[in-house]
Copies of this chain bind each other. A is one copy, B any other.
Amino acid sequence: MARFVLSIHCAPSDHDTTQRLVKFAHACLAQGHTIDAIFLYQQGVFHASQHLNLASDELAISALWQTLYEKKINLMLCVTAAEKRGLDITKKGIFSIAGLAEFAMLASDADKWVQFK
C-alpha cells in the first residue's frame, strides 16, 4: 500500500478541480492507500475559509472537505501563503496550520505527490 500527499493550488471558485481532488482522495483510501496530507497552497488556501456561502445547487465545498476530515486526513493550510492572501488563520475549522517545511517533509516521505490545479 502506498503513501500519498495531495496538494490543491486553485481557489474554491474552481469547483471542477475541487470535486476531482475529493474523489481522487476517497479512491485512494478505498484502495487501502494512505494520504499523509492534503496541502492548501497558492490560491488553494481559500478552501480553509469559514465564510463560503454557496447556493444549494452549487458544489457543497465545505461538506466535501468535512468528508475528508472524517477520514482522518490531515488538511494542512500553508500559513505563509494564507497570510499573504488575506485568509483569517485564526478561524481554521477542520484545517491545521502548517509551515511549508512540515509539508515538504511529508512529501519527501510519501511515495506519490499529486497536484490538483
**Partner among B43, B54, B85, B87 whose Cβ is within 8 Å of the Cβ of A83:** B54
Stretch at the interface among A44-52, A70-78, A95-103, A109-117: A44-52
Chain A: interface size category: 20 to 34
Q: Report B-chain residues with C-beta under 8 Å of the C-beta of A42.
A: 13
Q: How far is the CA of A7 from the CA of B83 in the complex (A)?
A: 24
**Partner among B11, B47, B53, B86 whose Cβ is within 8 Å of the Cβ of A51:** B86
Q: How far is the CA of A87 from the CA of B84 in the complex (A)?
A: 15
Residue of B nearest to A88 (CB): B51
Q: Report B-chain residues with C-beta under 8 Å of the C-beta of A47.
A: 86
Q: How far is the CA of A46 from the CA of B53 in the complex (A)?
A: 15
> CB within 8 Å of B: which residues of A?
11-13, 42-43, 46-47, 49-54, 58, 83-89
6 pairs of residues in contact across A and B, judged by CB atoms under 8 Å: A12-B85, A46-B86, A49-B85, A51-B83, A52-B83, A53-B84
